[in-house]
Chain A
Amino acid sequence: MAISKEMGGTHAESHATHGSAEHAHGEPHEPVFVGERRKQLDELLTRYPTKMAALLPALWMLQEDRGWVSEAGMAEVAEVLSLTPAYVKGVVTFYTMYHQHPVGKYFIQVCTTSPCNVCGAEDVVNAFLKHTKCGELGVTSEDGRFTVIEVECLGACGFATPVMINSDFIESVTPEKVPDLISKLT
Chain B
Amino acid sequence: MGYPHAPHPRETLVLSKYFGDRDAIGLDGWRKRGGYVALERALGMTPAEIVTIVKDSGLRGRGGAGFPTGLKWSFMKPGDGKPHYLCCNADESEPGTFKDREIMRWTPHALIEGCAIGSYAIGAETCYIYIRGEFTEPLERMEVAVREARAAGVIGPNAMGTGKRVDVWVHKGAGAYICGEETALMNSLEGRRGNPRIKPPFPAVAGVFGQPTTINNVETLAAVPHILNNGADWYKKMARPDNPKSTGTKLWSVCGNIARPGNYEVEMGFPFKDFLYDLCGGPPPGRKFKAVIPGGSSVPIMNMEEAEAALMDYEGMVAKGSMLGSAGCIVIDDAQCMVKQIARLARFYAHESCAQCTQCREGTAWATKIMERIEAGEGTMDDLGTLLEIGENMTGKTICVLSDSCAVPIASGIQKWRDEFEAHIKGKRCPFRTAAAA
Contact = CB atoms under 8 A, between A and B. Distances in A.
A90 interface: yes
A164 B139 CA distance: 14
Contacts of B262: 158
Contacts of B194: 94-95
Chain B interface residue number, banded: 35 or more
B341 A117 contact: yes
B261 interface: yes
Given A114-B96, A117-B341, A119-B256, 7 more contacts: A49-B83, A50-B191, A53-B189, A113-B95, A119-B255, A152-B352, A157-B97
Nearest to A97: B175
B173 interface: yes
A152 B98 contact: no
A95 B101 contact: no
Interface of A: 1, 3, 7, 47-50, 52-57, 59-60, 81, 83, 90-91, 94-98, 109, 112-115, 117-119, 151-160, 164, 167-169
Given A47-B167, A56-B174, A95-B174, A155 B93 contact: yes
B348 A153 contact: yes
Contacts of B230: none
B234 interface: no
Interface in B324-377: 328, 330, 332-333, 336, 340-341, 344-345, 348, 351-352, 354
A168 B190 CA distance: 27
Contacts of B261: 157-160
Interface of B: 4, 83, 92-98, 101, 126, 132-137, 167, 169, 171-177, 188-195, 209-210, 253-257, 261-263, 297, 328, 330, 332-333, 336, 340-341, 344-345, 348, 351-352, 354
> Looking at chain A's contact residues, is the secondary structure mostly helix, strand, loop, or mixed?
loop
B256 A157 contact: yes
Contacts of A55: 191-192
A113 B97 CA distance: 12
Contacts of A96: 174-176
B176 A158 contact: no
A168 B341 CA distance: 27
A162 B354 CA distance: 25
A56 B95 contact: no
A7 B177 CA distance: 25
Contacts of B95: 113-115, 152-153, 157
Contact of B255 (A3, A53, A90, A160): A160
A118 B174 contact: no
B81 to A, nearest CB: 15
Nearest to B330: A115
Given A115-B95, A115-B255, A160-B255, A53 B190 contact: yes
A7 B210 contact: yes
A9 B94 CA distance: 36
A117 B344 contact: yes
Given A7-B210, A50-B191, A164 B172 contact: no
A59 B192 CA distance: 12
A152 B402 CA distance: 15
A168 B136 contact: yes
B341 A118 contact: yes
A47 B167 CA distance: 9
A98 B301 CA distance: 33
